[in-house]
Amino acid sequence: MATSEQKLASGPDWYVSDVLCTAGAGDRPFEEEHRSVCIAAVTSGSFRYRTSQGAAMLAPGAVLLGNVGACYECGHEHGAGDRCLSFHFAPAHLDRIASDVLGAKKLTFGVPHLPPMPALASLLAEAEAAREMTDIDAFEELGLRIAGAALAVASEATPAARPPSRRDQKRVAEAVRQIELNADRPVSLAELAGSTATSPYHFLRTFRQVAGTTPYQFLLRTRLHRAAVRLRMSDEPISAIAFEAGFNDLSTFNRRFRRVMGETPGDYRARRSGSALPSPSAIVAF
């Protein structure tokens, strides 16, 4: 079996699992049915996800959306393995959450995923840090917050008019892996485009269509996410974390972090021992 699932925490009508898949290009796509509403954060690797809402290539920072009873298929023809934090909810439980989410018009997701975006960045970093520190008591609150945020964002999302080709998805998956491997150093658009044998303009347009963000925004989100996880897991100096993540200037790191995460690195670290909920924030651009 290429997929293993470890349940991390659970409660009435919900649970969260750490799902690890080791399938590669030579393995047949995995077919299954969502037995509950699924909101899964991709924390590493990439894979192709197809369901009745459409198809998408999911990379780190993306959020898989699954409707209860919907059949789906996951494939790794563009790369080996992935890891996800998978939150599952009974429909009635999610209904109660949606009733308190401003703008959540319906419970049935109309799109297969949410691309990496600042509105979810802080939450996903907290969730990954909770997994790495085995902080099971944090997941009940995190599940509610992630479900509410995903419902709010998904209610405004619309399906893409023309799905990207398999070839485009393969190119972007390769670029995503290259960015992940080299996130701590400068990675130019020309370098990424050259590795996929396309022009920079065509590559930029294709990457944005497939990943839902630009290559630079994905690189920046990867750096900030790694820094956020380390801030919650260690007491290392903020400057050391910023430099090792790929930022050459502390003031730039502080400014970027605050714009995306909604608070300064120091405040974000200080919250790791508290239980206060952050105030709602609008989606911002890099």
Question: What per-residue confidence (pLDDT) applies to 284?
Answer: 38
Assess if residue 159 is contained within a domain: no
Comparison of pLDDT for 203 and 6, the residue scoring more: 6
Question: What per-residue confidence (pLDDT) applies to 108?
Answer: 81
Cα–Cα distances in angstroms (integers) from residue 71 to residues 16, 90, 147, 158, in the given order: 20, 17, 21, 20
SS3 23: coil
Q: Are residues 135 and 8 in the same domain?
A: yes
In contact, 41 and 69? CB cutoff 8 Å: no
Number of independent structural domains in the chain: 2
The CATH number given to whatever domain includes residue 26 is 2.60.120.10
Q: Above pLDDT 90, what percent of the chain?
A: 37
Q: Are residues 8 and 150 in the same domain?
A: yes
Judge whether residue 9 has pLDDT over 50. yes
Assess if residue 160 is contained within a domain: no
CA–CA separation, 240 vs 230, rounded Å? 11
Q: Are residues 91 and 31 in the same domain?
A: yes
**Helices and strands (H, E) in the chain, number of each type:** 10, 10
For 204, the domain range is 166-273
Q: Are residues 8 and 127 in the same domain?
A: yes
- Convert the pLDDT of each residue in 207-242 to its tens digit: 888 888 888 888 989 999 999 999 999 999 999 999
Q: Which of 67-76, 263-272, 276-285 has the highest mean pLDDT?
A: 67-76
Q: Are residues 7 and 62 in the same domain?
A: yes
Transcribe 190-238 into DSSP letters. HHHHHHTTS-HHHHHHHHHHHHSS-HHHHHHHHHHHHHHHHHHH----H
Residue 145 tokens read as: 């917050």
The residue count of the chain comes to 286
Question: What per-residue confidence (pLDDT) applies to 214?
Answer: 85
Judge whether residue 286 has pLDDT over 60. no
CA–CA separation, 77 vs 43, rounded Å? 19
Q: Are residues 145 and 173 in the same domain?
A: no
Judge whether residue 73 has pLDDT over 90. yes
pLDDT band, residue 283 (cuts 50/70/90)? very low
- Convert the pLDDT of each residue in 107-157 to its tens digit: 688 899 999 888 888 889 989 999 998 888 889 889 988 998 888 888 776
Q: Are residues 124 and 195 in the same domain?
A: no
Assess if residue 186 is contained within a domain: yes
